Amino acid sequence: MWLGMIISFGGLQIAIISRGYLAYDLSGSAGILGLVGLAMGLPMLFFSPVAGVLADRLDKRRLLIGSQLFMFTVAGLLALLIHTGLIAVWHLIVFGFFQGIAFSLGMPTRSSLIPALVGRERLGNAIALNNSGRNMMTIVGPAVAGIVIVTPWLGTAGAFDITALCYGVATLFLLRLPKAADSGKKADPGKFSAQMFAGFNYVFTERTLLLLLVLAFVPILLGRPYQMLLPVFQADVLNVDARWLGFLNAASGAGGLLGSLLVAYLAASQHAKLLQTVFGGLFGIALILFAYTSWLPLSLVLVGFVGLAANAYMSLNNTLVMLHTDQAYYGRVMSIYMMSFSLMMFSGLPMGMLVDRWGAPQVVGIAGAVILLFILAVSLAVPASRQKDEGEPRTAPPRRTPAPL
């Protein structure tokens, strides 16, 4: 599953870079970049809770394979449109919507399989390894995309050809996943909608879990759109070609990989919640510094620090969420967690419109400042949440767990 994830995520990274470059090349508008992102975010927001119930009820292996085949088809059709010269912005919006459906189904399903494969005692290391693999592809994928796009006989069409190939190969790896891997505790059979709302009820009645999800949502909502806006920094702030768009994303991925490796080392720390606060603050600071830098070498370094802080923060948050979740609710909780990524797409549209009006440095810099203030405010308002259960970071705290419906 890990190898399949790496290859699939590499294809996704190539697609994201190519789609953003193509959207900005066709329109010249940061608002259109945000609209393309919103198209992917809509199904992720509304379909993720449904996907979570499916992951808790059905065969996770088959769900993963189905989502990969769907993404393979979408990438192949988009490549065909580019090859034939028929591509338009609305195609990117429509296919982004379909990709959002497949992504919202595949990610919580894959995440909810991890505890069954490795056990709770190795969960922190497994999540960090999983994130490390993804971040390795955020180095390789964007670099490949940038080189392919500027190669005359390949271009964006070749980039989507490679994306489709990655999804196809990832599907072959998933076919080798043993059926016994999905043998963990499942939600009791019952009414679909009741199970979905039971997942929301579970989150809102577990105060620690709810706080962790809020701590995930706000930095993602405000901070992650910087990646969506990198084509603007590449073209208008740094004034370099598409190769450097790939290298900017690769630098962010390299930092993210280092951040995930740090979390793998620190996963057993008794101060995981404190470390989450530290990396969250560093995320905001790094965004501010990157936003106001127009010298390419320094921008590459700073965007790497942004990736390091962001991924270390989210890896720690992801681990803490899983450790505070009952096994029967893994799929539903992770689907709610995935909704935070759709919120990133939603914020991308207004941020893109603000960039068209005020410029990318000002908008991203303000977002970084708000993240920093939010992290500081939470750390001062609820210091006890960082201390609670520090002695047993790998064991879910004793609590009354609502019976799954």
- Per the structure, the complete domain to which residue 366 belongs is given by 2-387
pLDDT confidence band for 395 (50 / 70 / 90): very low
Query: Which amino acid is present at 19?
Result: R
Q: Identify the pLDDT of residue 310.
A: 93
For residue 192, is pLDDT > 60?
Answer: yes
Q: Identify the pLDDT of residue 403.
A: 42
Token pair 């039971």: residue: 198
DSSP of 106-161:
HHHHHHHHHHHHH-GGGHHHHHHHHHHHHHHHHHHHHHHHHHHHHSTTTHHHHHHH
Q: Tell whether 400 is covered by a domain.
A: no
pLDDT confidence band for 306 (50 / 70 / 90): very high
Query: Tens digits of per-residue pLDDT, 262-297?
Result: 887 776 556 778 889 999 999 999 999 999 999 999
Contact (CB, 8 A) for 182 and 59? yes
Q: Tell whether 393 is covered by a domain.
A: no
* Percent of the chain scoring above 90 in pLDDT: 33
Whole-angstrom distance, CA of residue 379 vs CA of residue 67 = 38
For residue 10, is pLDDT > 70?
Answer: yes
| Domains contained in the chain, number | 1
* Percent of the chain scoring above 70 in pLDDT: 83
Q: Which two tokens stand for residue 289?
A: 């510094």
Q: Tell whether 76 is covered by a domain.
A: yes
Could you write out the three-class secondary structure of 295-338?
CHHHHHHHHHHHHHHHHHHHHHHHHHHHHCCCHHHHHHHHHHHH
Q: Tell whether 78 is covered by a domain.
A: yes
Query: Tens digits of per-residue pLDDT, 373-394?
Result: 999 998 888 764 444 444 343 3
Give me the mean pLDDT over the 53-80 stretch.
Answer: 85
**Average per-residue pLDDT in the chain?**
82
Q: Identify the pLDDT of residue 288.
A: 97
Q: Tell whether 91 is covered by a domain.
A: yes
Q: Tell whether 395 is covered by a domain.
A: no
- List Cβ<8 Å contacts ≥24 apart for 239-245: 240/296, 241/150, 242/21, 242/146, 242/149, 242/150, 243/146, 243/147, 243/149, 243/150, 244/146, 244/296, 245/17, 245/20, 245/21, 245/142, 245/146
Q: What's the pTM? A: 0.72
CATH code, domain with 34: 1.20.1250.20
Q: Tell whether 403 is covered by a domain.
A: no
Q: How many CB atoms sit inside 10 A of residue 234's CB? A: 26
Q: Tell whether 404 is covered by a domain.
A: no
